[in-house]
């Protein structure tokens, strides 16, 4: 797939800059498969370590430099050491710091994980300055279609170049994502019964196995109940006070649990854009799920699917050093808003609205576009839609969602 092939082709460049690469993303999004492709690309010597395997765990604990004992095919070889799920090791950051400081000239290191790698962003981290970080997400429409616009072309005109893909093929891909989500296994199986079984096990495994390893949670039932409540909150302002009241727990408990869901890629949250917006919301955020087919409300699921596509794009642009991008939403205290705003260097460059059944621009989209003076897109589930509307100095594009999303860089 496109993102996976893209990261594979830049591996030589990034590994030349830094010998320690962190690859983060949701569990079961394809990180281990990606690592195998990296190995096949041309590492004659490699060591694979998985913290979940008892034999591997005991090797590291008894000998932190265990990989240095492995024989090499030639003396000049610079082997690749892959650490999988190492973040479950309580002292993983200090361990990697020591390994990097001692062996960075002799080895390449690829560290993969679904949780706690996000904590490496914290100031004062022992790994600061020692790594480059990349993300691998579940499949998105743009990756599956494999015919995206060049990034610079998109930046210059986000409303152009949407007809390079076959509408029939992108419509089929969109429908598969709609029903099964982008996680490789259920997407590839393409059966609803399998997705239901997988989905039930997936959430429970992360909550009861992964999160429990990093947090002292006395009542996992509360955590599971909170996660079960979240699909009905997608697309609206997330009130932690209301959630705390529903669960009969402290506000701080809900706050900390939501942070854990974010860290383990069960959820992600967007903050509101406040600059130049009179009476804008400041604290409230919107929450989305990576496994969005669990959302029953079709309008909320549609918004969530688009959110995942945009998040993937923004994170990949940042990973590749194309700029400093961020994803937000617009909302004021009168409840007028736009679903998404994309910014570069804290300057908006595009607003995006989702209206599953709408083929004319929403009033709020037109109003915010005039205020911010940026291009605007409204995405719809209706087939065969591509219409331009005049709104001041910028046009508004209303288009069938899969046609525009499939060409997103």
State mean pLDDT over 76-101. 87
Alpha-carbon distance of 10 to 16, in angstroms, equals 10
Token representation of residue 110:
């690829």
pLDDT digits (tens, 9 = 90+) for 120-158: 444 346 666 778 888 889 999 998 988 888 899 999 899
Average pLDDT, the chain: 86
pLDDT for res 120: 46
State mean pLDDT over 105-117. 81
Is the pLDDT at 236 greater than 70? The verdict is yes
Alpha-carbon distance of 334 to 331, in angstroms, equals 8
Q: What end-to-end distance do the CA atoms of the chain give, in Å?
A: 13
Q: Of 177, 173, 196, give the one whose Cα is nearest residue 308.
A: 177
- Range name among 6-20, 224-238, 391-405 with the lowest pLDDT average: 6-20
pLDDT higher for 276 or 9? 276
Alpha-carbon distance of 255 to 242, in angstroms, equals 12
Alpha-carbon distance of 112 to 92, in angstroms, equals 12
Instruction: Please count the residues of the chain.
Output: 409
pLDDT higher for 106 or 301? 301
Alpha-carbon distance of 179 to 336, in angstroms, equals 30
- Segment holding 35, helix H or strand E: helix 31-40
Residue 408, sorted as left (phi over 0), alpha (psi -120 to 50) or beta, turns out to be beta
Question: Do residues 227 and 254 touch, judged by C-beta distance below 8 A?
Answer: no
pLDDT for res 71: 87
pLDDT higher for 31 or 189? 189
State mean pLDDT over 263-274. 91
pLDDT digits (tens, 9 = 90+) for 299-350: 999 999 999 999 999 999 998 889 999 999 998 877 788 999 999 999 999 9
* Residue matched to tokens 């509360």: 222
The sign of the dihedral angle between the CA atoms of 279, 283, 289, 295 is: negative
For the chain, domains (ranges, CATH) are 2-135 (3.40.50.300), 141-405 (no CATH)
pTM, two decimal places: 0.90
């Amino acid at each position: 797939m496109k993102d996976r092939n893209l990261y594979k082709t830049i591996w030589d460049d990034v590994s030349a800059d830094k010998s320690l690469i962190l690859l983060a993303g949701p569990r079961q999004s394809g990180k281990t498969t990606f690592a195998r492709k990296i190995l096949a690309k041309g590492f004659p010597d490699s060591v694979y370590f998985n913290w979940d395997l008892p034999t591997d765990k005991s090797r590291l604990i008894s000998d932190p430099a265990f990989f240095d004992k492995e024989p090499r095919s030639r003396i000049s070889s610079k082997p690749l050491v892959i650490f999988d799920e190492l973040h479950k090791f309580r002292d993983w950051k200090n361990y990697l710091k020591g390994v990097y400081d001692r062996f960075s000239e002799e080895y390449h290191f690829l560290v993969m994980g679904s949780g706690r790698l996000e904590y490496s962003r914290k100031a004062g981290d022992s790994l600061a300055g020692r790594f480059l970080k990349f993300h691998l997400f579940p499949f998105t429409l743009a990756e599956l279609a494999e015919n995206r616009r060049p990034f610079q072309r998109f930046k210059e005109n986000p409303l152009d170049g949407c007809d390079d893909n076959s509408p029939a093929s992108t419509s089929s891909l969109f429908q598969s994502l709609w029903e099964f989500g982008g996680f490789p296994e259920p997407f590839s199986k393409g059966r609803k019964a399998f997705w239901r079984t997988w989905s039930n096990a997936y959430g429970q495994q992360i909550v009861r196995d992964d999160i429990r390893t990093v947090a002292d949670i006395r009542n996992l039932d509360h955590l599971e109940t909170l996660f079960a409540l979240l699909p009905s909150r997608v697309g609206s302002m997330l009130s932690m006070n209301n959630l705390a009241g529903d669960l009969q727990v402290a506000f701080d408990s809900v706050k900390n649990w939501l942070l854990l869901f974010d860290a383990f890629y069960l959820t992600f949250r967007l903050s509101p854009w406040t600059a130049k917006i009179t009476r804008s919301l400041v604290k409230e955020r919107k929450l989305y799920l990576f496994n969005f087919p669990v959302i029953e409300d079709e309008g909320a699921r549609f918004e969530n699917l688009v959110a995942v596509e945009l998040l993937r794009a923004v994170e990949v642009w940042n990973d590749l050093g194309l700029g400093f991008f961020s994803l937000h939403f617009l909302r004021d205290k009168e409840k007028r808003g736009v679903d998404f705003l994309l910014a570069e260097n804290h300057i908006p460059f595009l607003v995006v609205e989702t209206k599953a059944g709408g083929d004319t621009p929403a009033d709020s989209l037109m109003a915010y576009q005039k205020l911010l003076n940026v291009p605007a897109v409204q995405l719809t589930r209706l087939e065969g839609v591509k219409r331009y509307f005049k709104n001041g100095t910028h046009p508004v594009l209303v288009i069938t969602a899969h046609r525009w999303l499939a060409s997103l860089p």
